[in-house]
Amino acid sequence: MILLLIVCNVLDAQTNHIEERFLEKRTYQELENDFYDGKTGDIDSKRNIATYYLKKAKAEKNNTQIAEAYVMLHFDQPLPVALQYLDSLQVITKKSNENYYPARTYLLRGNLYFRSDNLQAALNNYILGLKYAREKKNKRQVAMADISIAYLNNYIGKHVEAAQTLRSYVYNADYMNQDERKILKLNLADAYIEIDKMDSAYILIQEGLQVSEKNKDLYSRHQNLGLLGYYNLKLKKYNAAIDNLVPCEKFFFGTNGQNKRNQNYTLLNLGRSYAGLQNKKKAIEYFTKIDSIVLKTGYVYPELKEVYTYLINYYKENKDKEKQLYYVDRFLKVDQILDSRFRYISRELPRRYDAPKLQQEKESITDELKQRKTLFYIVLSCLLISHLLFINFYFKYKKSEKKYKKIAQDLIQSVNENKSSWVREVKNNVLLVQDTESTDGKASKMISEDIVQTILKELEIFETKDQFLNKGITLGSLAKRIKTNSRYLSEIINTHKGKNFATYLNDLRIDYAINRLANDKKFRSYKLPFIADELGYNNEQAFTLAFKKRTGTPLSVYLKEIENMTSI
C-alpha cells in the first residue's frame, strides 16, 4: 500500500509537471480562452489553468493579470472561498484605471450571493455595481446589473417590469456574447409565460431549441425543453408538458446537468402537470421529492408555498394527521424565509433601484425637453429668417417682374411703331443706341478709307439679307466671305459698330427675334429649340441667355406680354 501511494504521488507529480510545461507555452489570452471555453467541463483542469495564471502573473508583477486570475479562481468554489478571492480582487484593483472596476467585483459578488440564495446581499452588491458602472459609463456592466435586478423583480412577482428590462437588452445589446444572450432569452421567455404572452414565449423557446440542436448543446436544449414544458403546463396541455419535462428530469439529475434551480422547477412542473391530470399519487411523489431537496440544499423559492399547500390538503383529505402536521410545519418555516426575503426585496428594490432609475429618467427627459425647446427656437428662428428672406425675395421678384413687363411692353410697342428696323432705343437704357453711321472713332490709319467703306457695305448686305441667321458664323468665316482679313474686320466692327464681333452677331440675331416674334404668330408658336435653331443658335439656353442680356427681360416674359397685348 505504501509503495502504491508513493508510485501514485510520483505519477501525479509527473503529470502536473507535464501540464505546467504545456501551460508555460500559452499566452495570457490563450489561457483565458482555455479557461472560459464552454466545452471544458473539467473543474480540476480549469482550476489548474487559473492557478498557473496567478503564478505567472505574480512572477511578472502584473496586477491586471493577477486580478483576472482571482476572477478565474473564484468560480466553482464554496461561497466562503469564492468571497475570499473576490476580496483579493477588490484589494488588487483598488487603484485600477480600468473602467470595469470596481463595478466588476460587486457584480461578481452579487452573482455569488444570488446563486447561494442570499438575495438581500445579492441586491446590495448589484446596486453598488450599477452605481459604479454608471459612474464609469460602462454600458455592458450597467446592462448586467439591470438584468440581474430584473431577475429579482421576477422573484417578487413584478414580471411585467422584468420582461420590459430583459426585452430591451435582448434586442439592443450588441456588446453581449452568444452565451449571455442565450441565457437572457431563456429568462425573457419565462417572464413572457408569467404575463401570458404565450406567442412571444413560444418563438423564443423554439429559437433556443433550434440553436442548441445546431450547436449540439445538451444543457441549453434541456433548459429550453423544460421551459417548453412550463409553456404547455400554462396552456393546460398536461400530457405535452410531461413529455417535455421527463427527459429534463433525467438530464438535470444526471452527472452533466446538476443545478438546483433546474432540478426544482423540473420537479415542480411535473408535479403540477400530474395534479392537472388529477393524478394525485404522481403529483405527491414529485412534491415530496422537492421537499427532500429543500431540506438537503436549503434552496427555497416562492412556488414552494403551492407545493406545501398541495401536500397539506392531500394528507388532510387522506386523514393522515402526522404527515399533515409535518408539512404544515415545513410550510411555516419556508414561508418565514420567503416572507423575510420578499419583504426586503420588495422594500429595497423600489427605494434603491426604481426611484433612482426614475430620477435618472426624469433628468434625461428634462434634458431632452430643454434640447427640444432649444431646437424649437432654432427652427423657429430659421423659419422666421427664411420667411423674411422669402418676403424680401417675393417683393424683389415682383419688382423685377414689373420691370421685366415694362421692358417687354416697350419692346413690343417699339416694334409696332416701327421706329427702327433692327436697333431700337428702349426706356431705362436697356437697349443701346446703335448708330451705324456713327464714326466716333476712326479705323486704324493702317486701313485705307476705300477698304473701310467696302467692308461696311459688305456688312450692310450681311445685315439686310439676314445672313447673320446662318449657323456657325465666326469672325474668320465672315472675313473670308467678304474677302478681307479677320484683323481688319474686327477693328472696323469695333470702331463703327461699337462692339466686338460676338456681341455684334448676337445683337443682330436678338433684334431680329424681337421683331419676328412680335409680328409672326406662326413663328411664335414654334417650340423654343426650333426658334433658337432658326436664329442660328446651337441650343435653347444660348438663345435665352443672349435675349436677356440684350433686352434686359427674360424671353418668357416677352412672349407672355406679346400674347397679352395681341389678345386685347
Of all residues in the chain, what percent are helix, strand and coil, respectively (each to 5)? 80, 0, 20
Say how many C-beta atoms besides its own lie within 10 A of residue 533's C-beta: 17
Taking the mean position of all CA atoms in its chain, how far away is CA 207?
24
Class of domain 406-567: mainly alpha
Residue ranges of the domains in the chain?
177-299, 406-567
Q: Is the pTM of this model over 0.85?
A: no
240 confidence band (pLDDT: 50, 70, 90):
very high
Topology agreement, domain 177-299 and domain 406-567: no
Which is more confident, 438 or 508? 508
DSSP secondary-structure letter at 352? Answer: I
The CATH number for 177-299, chosen from 3.40.220.10, 2.70.50.30, 1.25.40.10, 3.40.190.10, is 1.25.40.10
User: What is the DSSP secondary-structure string of 43-62?
Assistant: HHHHHHHHHHHHHHHHHTT-
One-letter amino acid at 148 equals: S
Report d(CA 263, CA 250) in Å as an integer. Answer: 10
Q: Using alpha carbons, select from 404, 393, 372 the residue that is nearest to residue 557.
A: 404
Residues 6+ apart with CB under 8 A from 294: 264, 300, 304, 330, 334
Say how many C-beta atoms besides its own lie within 10 A of residue 363's C-beta: 10
3-state secondary structure of 302: coil
225 in Cβ contact with 195 (< 8 Å): no
pLDDT of 25 reads 76
Report d(CA 425, CA 311) in Å as an integer. Answer: 116
Q: Using alpha carbons, select from 140, 141, 114 the residue that is nearest to residue 130.
A: 141
Name the grid cell of 401: 417682374
Q: What angle do CA 36, 42, 46 make, to 5 degrees?
A: 45
Name the grid cell of 154: 421576477
pLDDT of 207 reads 94
pLDDT over threshold 80, residue 337: yes
Give the model confidence (pLDDT) of 10-25 as tens digits.
444 444 544 566 678 7
Query: Is residue 344 classed exposed, middle or buried when 0-12, 13-18 and 19+ CB atoms within 10 A define those classes?
Result: middle
pLDDT of 434 reads 38
3-state secondary structure of 422: coil
Give the model confidence (pLDDT) of 254-275 as tens digits.
865 568 889 999 999 999 999 9
pLDDT over threshold 80, residue 485: yes
pLDDT of 131 reads 93
pLDDT over threshold 70, residue 507: yes
